[in-house]
Amino acid sequence: MKFLMRSILLALICLPFWMQAQHGVSYRLEYDFGTQTYTFSINSNIQYNPPTSWILNSSQVTIVVPQIPGGWQVTNLQALVPSAPVQLGWTFSYLNGMTYSLPNDYLFFTPSNGGTYTPFLIPAMTWMPLFSFQTSSGCVGDLWLYDIDTDPLNQIVNINAGHNIVIFPAGQMNIYSGNDTGNVPCVAPCAADAGTLSY
């Protein structure tokens, strides 16, 4: 009986870790030089099917941006998954890194209607664009996805800065598994070689 109870307890303790190992979602940030548009995409190792494949409001994408006077400006934030009748929407907030003596600023993107929009198919092993945005700040430096291990904002314990992706069938757990991209420049390599630093 004691062995059975120990086995059940061990299973309950290990279940969340096992579930997280089975479910994983990678993040990617890209920039289109022609349209001057940033696009964020996810890649899940498991397919999630409607009508229960909701991305919940506790999900978060954190992007590091250059620190400039007036703050790095987001414009034309667009949801990219056409689901009818209610599309998954996105909103963002901004953190001035100077408040904490940090060298960069931060954008936090979150769903605005997670769990209430019309669910859509999230395919397995396929990059799926979720939203895009532009800036009115011009080309002032690279952007990159937040590094949950090395970014200095990790030391500010009262800021929820990390990436978080919660998809309803996977339970109430964060199944973010890593970043697929590093620094994302806004200047094409040939333009950078020629010394062009703005649009």
pLDDT of 154:
95
pLDDT of 63:
98
Q: Which structural domain range is residue 159 located in?
A: 24-193
- Please check the confidence at residue 192 and state whether its pLDDT lies above 70: no
Residue 14 included in any domain: no
Confidence of residue 10 (pLDDT cuts 50, 70, 90): very low
Residue 66 included in any domain: yes
Per the CB < 8 A criterion, the answer to whether 27 and 42 are in contact is: yes
d(CA 151, CA 101): 13
How many domains are contained in the chain? 1
| Cα 52–chain centre separation | 21
Per the CB < 8 A criterion, the answer to whether 143 and 74 are in contact is: no
Residue 53 included in any domain: yes
d(CA 106, CA 144): 10
Q: Whole-prediction pTM value?
A: 0.85
106: domain CATH number?
Answer: 2.60.40
d(CA 55, CA 59): 7
Cite the DSSP H helix spans in 56-120: none
Name the least confident of 20-24, 91-95, 108-112, 156-160: 20-24
Residue 12 included in any domain: no
